[in-house]
Amino acid sequence: MRKKIVAANWKMNMTQAEAARFIESMLLDLGEITDVEVVIVPPFTAIAKVMEALGRAQNIKVGAQNMYWEKNGPFTGEISGPLLRDLFVHYVVLGHSERRILFGETDEIVNRKVRAAHEATLRPIVCIGETLEQRDMGNVEKILAIQMRGSLAGLNAKELQETVIAYEPVWAIGTGRNATPDQAQEAHAFVRHILGEMADDATAERVRIQYGGSVKPENARELMSQPDIDGALVGGASLDPRSFVQIVKAARER
């Protein structure tokens, strides 16, 4: 049985003070939660504050939104896996479509980062997803297969199991238009099928696949009750602690 994983991708939002207030409010509302894995993914500048605010709530994990593949050296402006581990970060989001589209990240670049993340014992959350144009052309499976085989190349079965995949159709991100539960389930089942080809069926069954793209309290439950949807990567709705907690709670219901 895969444990659901719900992550808050704050993107380029949240000052330290806002982050601390969010965590305080979330903890009050959420109470003790052990049946869903909760991950907060702040901007780099708020990571330490989030850790401090979480205090003893150690079942809630913290992620970063990006990293570079080298460990250290003359790479002005970059952050490495070991530097993130130094902050007790557990997860790192890699290959988000905003990074692919706005910052030119290719599958090869994402793959280097994914392998460096494993080397640093960080768990990558690897984002994949098609554009509306690609969907309209009937190329969803082709695009997902290319992105998976490229971004996850060279990982062994253990590393694949410790990788989270986020299916985020580009047309659903920040648009208010989520994929329907059927559309998302179909894509997730295909992703799991490709994982089976890349490794084996037992490995594929263990990998958690999150859905991302306009997840809200109103649609979270139906999306996450699909058999291959193992959680959510939440953008806009994760900036409000009440709506984020509602989404986490929706992950418990079947």
Q: Catalytic residue positions?
A: 96, 168
Tell whether residue 212 is a contact of ligand 13P (CB under 6 A): yes
Q: Could you tell me the smallest distance in angstroms from the CB atom of residue 215 to ligand 13P? A: 5
Tell whether residue 94 is a contact of ligand 13P (CB under 6 A): no
DSSP class of residue 227? T
Tell whether residue 203 is a contact of ligand 13P (CB under 6 A): no
Q: Could you tell me the smallest distance in angstroms from the CB atom of residue 199 to ligand 13P? A: 25
Tell whether residue 43 is a contact of ligand 13P (CB under 6 A): no
**Which of residues 36, 47, 223, 233 is near ligand 13P by CB under 6 A?**
233
Residue with the CB atom nearest ligand 13P in the bound state: 235
Residue the block writes with tokens 């079942």: 59
Sequential DSSP letters for 159-220 = HHHT-EEEE--GGGTTSS-PPPHHHHHHHHHHHHHHHHHHS-HHHHHH-EEEEESS--HHHH
Binding mask 95-134 for ligand 13P (x = CB under 6 A): -x--------------------------------------
DSSP class of residue 66? -
Using DSSP's 3-state secondary structure scheme, residue 30 falls into: helix
**Which of residues 174, 200, 201, 202 is near ligand 13P by CB under 6 A?**
174
Smaller CB separation from ligand 13P, 167 or 199: 167
Smaller CB separation from ligand 13P, 81 or 129: 129
Tell whether residue 6 is a contact of ligand 13P (CB under 6 A): no
Question: Total number of residues binding ligand 13P (CB under 6 A)?
Answer: 14
46-73 in b/e burial notation, b at 16+ Cβ within 10 A? Answer: bbebbbebbeeeeebbbbbbbbbbeeee
Q: Could you tell me the smallest distance in angstroms from the CB atom of residue 175 to ligand 13P? A: 7
Q: Mention every residue, 6+ apart, whose C-beta is less than 8 A from residue 39.
A: 5, 6, 7, 8, 60, 61, 62, 63, 90, 91, 125
Pick the closest to residue 116 from 169, 173, 75, 145 (CA basis).
75
Which spans of this chain sit near ligand 13P (rule: CB under 6 A)? 9, 96, 168, 173-174, 212-215, 233-237
